[in-house]
Structure 1
Amino acid sequence: MTPLITDPLQPVFVIAGAAFCVCLMATICSPALTLFSQILASAQKKVFYDKFARQLATMATTLGVLCFTTMAAGILHTALEEPALFEGPLRLPLMAALGTLTLAFALQVIYSLTWNSLKKNKALHRLFGLFAGLSMFTAVFLSLGLKRTVLAAGLSIPSSAPALDTFLAVYSIPAQSVFWPLLAQALLAGTGAAGALGLCYLLLRREADNYGRDYYNFSTAYCARCALIPSLLQTIPAALLLWMSQPVLSPFALENPFVLLWAAGIAIPLLACAGWMIVAVSAAPLRHKPAMITAPVLLVAGYAVQMFAALRVYALI
């Protein structure tokens, strides 16, 4: 039987990768939560939603600076080591993904920094948030589609193929592909991660911002629900991914350690969900700080286990 770990450094790299992905996807999915909260603020005439949206936007921008700086360094290193990648047949999909991600982050920064200056023009401000969110989601689609093509077995794209034809070939994805549940899980998990890190950010900024106990009781319970619902929903595409991997998970049974490992990875984030549920229904949510703080750790652990199982099963590590 294939051993679970072939290199002692594999788990370390996977955990680091999972932590980075949680932060990156939280950044990418935050505009959806902030925009939704702004809409609720207007619909329910409750200023607390708007205050929360602003704090979450600030957190996303700060995280974005860290994530995109790291990515830029990685891309620069790749460009220097493998310049052919940026000149080959996949250059258009690659540039499209990078360009869309750059545009999305620029819009996110504008959205965050114009909160006061566009206070009297909320429609324009929310438009920045809407386009930031749509650009973020488009960047995820383009990036995962490119990743699927690069990792596809037996892939052969002629270097002389027209750029547009290559682009269309990369993103002509069959309906039965594992790409679709992977995309759904990434977006739902990212939205949950935004809520999870948002809770920690509220605790971190509580003394500095000092919006009052009523606000923090409201915002922590609301943010816990923002983390809970998408994190529960992401288990559906996660389980579907495991089911669709039957051809390479042989035997597809509990005797297979990779099946158990993958299933455990799906289950671990549910422990974080239990903590958020307690926070969401509590009359004094601030008393449950340990649940708020440990939740992101559980998310990273769960997604790291899923990533490790998937990478080992598909022989990518």
Structure 2
Amino acid sequence: MRMEDIAALVAPDVLLPALGLAGLLLPGLIAMGAVFVAVLTAATYGKSSRVFADKLAKQISEFGMLVLGVWLLLVSARWGLWIGEIWPVSEKLRQFYHLFFDIPGHVAMLAVLTSIVTARAWRRHKKGSSVHFVLGGISCLAWMAALMFFVVGWLELVRAEGLAPKMDPLVLPDLLQNPKAWLVWAQGLFLAMALAGGGGLLFLVARRNKEDYGRDYYAWAARTLATRALSSGVIQVLWGVAAFAALSLSWAEMVLQDQSPRLPTALAALSDSSALAAMLMFLFVSLLAWLSLVPLIKSQNPMRLKGLMLGHVVIVFLSLTALVMTFHSLF
């Protein structure tokens, strides 16, 4: 990797569009991840932490609804500025917006509605019950399906090199057989949970005065969210590396090689990838995000570390920007 490659990443014509796209993706991923974090929190903690877990699940569900509203507002505003010819969008983003009016968008709307119902159920009944788990499970399934449809739709747009036709439900089983789609989907799923866990820390700070559940609860909740953000963050990076390798290598040519060693060939191809600099930046910034969570997990009073919470969210946003650059370079 050369210094020219690093300088190219921070060029205004590359950095600013990546920051804008990351800004649109961030609230959407947080809203999706909040549903999973809420369900997993309520389901995985035993009797000793049941009361705390139910309160945290309720708060994270409300956090997801708040961010979901912001995301829908941002997407609608950006679409309106484009339609009104006030702020044009790139060709790739224009193609991606069509997915909101196709099967991915329809399933996403279903996921939004199920998330609203789940959050209202937590608001009415603050103790976990089978109703919460059923509604939360349905919402999680809807979000997983929406994410997968957006991923396969995006890959089809890339393959078509133009405006792809509307999705045919009969063709979807064939599209789902693409292993690259599953790699990107898995990373997106754990990335959403990592973002929701990190962003939820700031929501705890904002809600502490209005919902005073006690110092012990907020200390436990902050450590729990930080742990969720760390574990999900590590897993999503591993999936990201796998997706980077899958999208960078020509697997068909490697399989057809006779006796030549494949590992050196793969390493050479990865080192020559146009997305290598962005990927290394993503890995470095992700490491910083993990390190910022360690003091929160170990602290007996993590709510005092508000600056570290804010710093973590900023670092995670930068890592998402680097990830956007990586996929942009791959395609």
Shared fold, TM over 0.5: yes
> Counterpart in 1 of 2:291?
274
> Counterpart in 2 of 1:86?
none
Which residue of the other structure, out of 107, 118, 123, is the alignment partner of 2:114? Answer: 107
Partner Cα distance (1:11, 1:271) in 2: 20
Task: Please tell me whether residue 305 in structure 1 is matched to residue 312 in structure 2.
Answer: no
Deviations 1:198-222 (A, max 9, x none): 0111112222222211111111111
Task: Please tell me whether residue 263 in structure 1 is matched to residue 280 in structure 2.
Answer: yes
Aligned CA distance change for structure 1 residues 224 and 176 (closer, same or farther; 3 Å): same
> Counterpart in 1 of 2:221?
219
Residue correspondence of structure 1 range 27-42 to structure 2 within 5 A: 27-40=31-44
**Structure 1 unmatched ranges of 5 or more:** 82-90, 160-164
Partner Cα distance (1:93, 1:171) in 2: 20
**Structure 2 unmatched ranges of 5 or more:** 86-97, 251-265
Aligned CA distance change for structure 1 residues 9 and 154 (closer, same or farther; 3 Å): closer
More moved, 259-268 vs 232-241: 259-268
Cα RMSD (Å): 3.4
Partner Cα distance (1:7, 1:171) in 2: 40
> Counterpart in 1 of 2:60?
56
> Counterpart in 2 of 1:65?
69
Aligned CA distance change for structure 1 residues 6 and 218 (closer, same or farther; 3 Å): closer
Give the 3-state SS of the residue equivalent to 1:167 in structure 2.
coil
> Counterpart in 2 of 1:197?
199
Task: Please tell me whether residue 123 in structure 1 is matched to residue 130 in structure 2.
Answer: yes
Check the 8 A contact 2:226/2:293 in 1, yes or no.
yes
Partner Cα distance (1:131, 1:15) in 2: 32
Partner Cα distance (1:300, 1:139) in 2: 22
Q: How many corresponding residue pairs?
A: 302
TM-score (normalised: structure 2): 0.79
Partner Cα distance (2:99, 2:204) in 1: 40
Deviations 1:156-214 (A, max 9, x none): 9789xxxxx83333452375642221111111111000000001111122222222111
Give the 3-state SS of the residue equivalent to 1:203 in structure 2.
helix
Give 1:304 deviation, angstroms.
Answer: 0.8
Check the 8 A contact 1:26/1:197 in 2, yes or no.
yes
Which residue of the other structure, out of 14, 21, 26, is the alignment partner of 1:17? Answer: 21
More moved, 68-77 vs 294-303: 68-77
Give the 3-state SS of the residue equivalent to 1:9 in structure 2.
helix
Check the 8 A contact 1:149/1:155 in 2, yes or no.
no
Which residue of the other structure, out of 141, 166, 176, is the alignment partner of 2:148? Answer: 141
> Counterpart in 1 of 2:209?
207
Give the 3-state SS of the residue equivalent to 2:8 in structure 1.
coil
Partner Cα distance (1:303, 1:201) in 2: 20
Give the 3-state SS of the residue equivalent to 1:211 in structure 2.
coil
Deviations 1:123-163 (A, max 9, x none): 2233222211111111111111111111115689789xxxx
Aligned CA distance change for structure 1 residues 181 and 284 (closer, same or farther; 3 Å): same
Give the 3-state SS of the residue equivalent to 1:283 in structure 2.
coil
Check the 8 A contact 1:93/1:146 in 2, yes or no.
no
Partner Cα distance (2:281, 2:116) in 1: 37
Matched to 1:12, the amino acid is: L
